Structure formats: structure tokens, C-alpha cells
Amino acid sequence: LHFQQIFSIASLAGWVKSPAITNQQKNSPILSHVSHGVICGYGGKKLSSRNGESSFEKLLDSAVKNASFVLSKKHSTVSENCEKNLAEVIGIDGIRFYDLCAGNRSYTIDYSNMLNFKGNTSVYLQYTYSRFYSICDSSSLKHQFDWDHLCQLQSFNVNSDVERDLLFHLSRFDEAITITTEALAPNLLCEYVIDIARRANVFYETSRILGSKEEESRLQICYAILQIMECTMHLLGIKVVKRL
């Protein structure tokens, strides 16, 4: 009801498309309410800020604290300030991505799942991005590649079925964007980029990149992975991390 009232006011004001206004511009925006399920805390109890049981600020603080704990076990040489900034990025993005992945389904806040380096999480995406960024940054051929050069490439050299499979899914980026926007379902875009990350890591684990005779063509694939992941993560509000 709340959104119906807001949309009606916007329609009467002429800010959005309305059947009552005949001379309205065709490119006027359309408002849609995308619902979501119930969000529960530990124990399966529904979170309710209205009753003073929880607040969004406390939720974010808890996510950052949990991210800091996870990072403290993995990092031993990172400065305290850098780790604090990284924990804030990972913690907040973890909640955002977890929420978008759920779509309109109900879910329970679980930081161990939200911050899992090997799960369907934003930190898994950030880890994958940092892995391929490091590869490209370490290559002696990196000066030959940049985004402009990559966009001008007409084809990729394919050396294995793993590469073919990865490139096929990278090429579905435009399709994934279209399906997501038409369905008003960002969880579909989440699924797409997670799928890219998984296939990219299989490529990393099965294919020698630096120092191989296929280094140049495989670096092109690495740059394509970075470009698609960076754009997709930006659309989802997830920050890329170059070092993790």
C-alpha cells in the first residue's frame, strides 16, 4: 500500500508514466515495486527495526566485525588501517550481495555464509578479481594490453575446452543484463557473475598462463574476465579489490 500511494502521487505529478496523461513522453520512467521475503536473524527470528530489536546500522557493524575476524586469520602482513578498510568493504558488500542473491526469497542472516571465500558471495568475486588482476599485473606483456586494446579484438585464440566454455559464458554478458532488467531480478545477474568466477577459477587451475607459449592469448582471456566482472560487480554495487 505504501508504494502504491507513492507511485500514485508520482503519476499524478507527471513524473512517471500514467495512462491518465495522454501527452506524456514515451521515455518517461516506469516505477515497479520489487518485493522481497522475510529477513531473519540467528534463531530464525524475524528482524524488526520497528520494534527496536535491530537496526541496519548494527547489522552493518556486525558484518564489518565478522569480516575483520575472517581477514585477521588470513593476513599477517597487512597494516591495521588497510585491514580495517578492507573489512568494511567486504562486510558491507557481503550483506548487499547476499540480499540481492536471495531475490524475493526469505533468508537468515549468517555471516559465515556471507563471508565464505568459496561460496556464492561477494568476497568470492573479489578474491577471483584480485587473482586475475595479479596475473595481468605480473605479466611481462602487460604493456601490450589495456581496455581499449581488448575492445578492439575481433577474436580470441582458443586452446582448450575450458577456455571455449569460459569465453562462451563471457559472451553472454549482454544477454544476462537484458534478462535481469526485463525480469527486475538482480539475483539473475548475481548468478551470472558467480558462474563466470567459477569458470574463471577452473581456467586458472587447469591452464598455465604466465610463461606459457599461449601467454598472450590467455592474457586476453584474463583481461576479458576482469572487464566483465568489474562491470557486473559495479552494477550490483560490489567494489572490486585488486589485492586480497
**First-last CA distance in the chain:** 44
Q: Residue 237 — pLDDT band, cuts 50, 70, 90?
A: very high
Of 11-25, 74-88, 90-104, the range with the lowest mean pLDDT is 11-25
Q: Which of 39, 189, 44, 75 is nearest to 125 (CA)?
A: 189
Mean pLDDT for the chain overall: 85
pLDDT digits (tens, 9 = 90+) for 118-150: 889 999 999 999 999 999 888 877 666 555 665
Q: Residue 243 — pLDDT band, cuts 50, 70, 90?
A: confident
Question: In angstroms, rounded to a whole number, what is the distance separating the alpha carbons of residues 191 and 214?
Answer: 30
User: To the nearest whole percent, how much of the chain has pLDDT over 90?
Assistant: 44
Q: Residue 26 — pLDDT band, cuts 50, 70, 90?
A: low
Give how far Cα 101 sits from Cα of 18, 96, 160, 192, 200, Å: 31, 9, 31, 11, 20
Q: What is the 3-state secondary structure (H, E, C) of 99-140?
A: HHHHCCCCEECCHHHHCCCCCCCHHHHHHHHHHHHHHHHHCC
C-alpha cell of residue 5 = 500511494
**CB neighbour class for 14 (10 Å; exposed up to 12, middle 13-18, buried from 19):** middle
Question: In angstroms, rounded to a whole number, what is the distance separating the alpha carbons of residues 58 and 95?
Answer: 12
pLDDT digits (tens, 9 = 90+) for 152-210: 555 667 889 999 999 999 999 999 999 999 999 999 999 999 999 999 999 999 999 99
The pLDDT of residue 25 is 57
Question: In angstroms, rounded to a whole number, what is the distance separating the alpha carbons of residues 127 and 136?
Answer: 15
The pLDDT of residue 225 is 95
pLDDT digits (tens, 9 = 90+) for 56-77: 778 788 888 888 888 877 765 5
The pLDDT of residue 54 is 61
**586494446: which residue's cell?**
149
239, 126 contact by CB (below 8 A): yes
Q: Which of 87, 96, 114 is nearest to 234 (CA)?
A: 96
Of 33-42, 91-100, 224-233, the range with the lowest mean pLDDT is 33-42
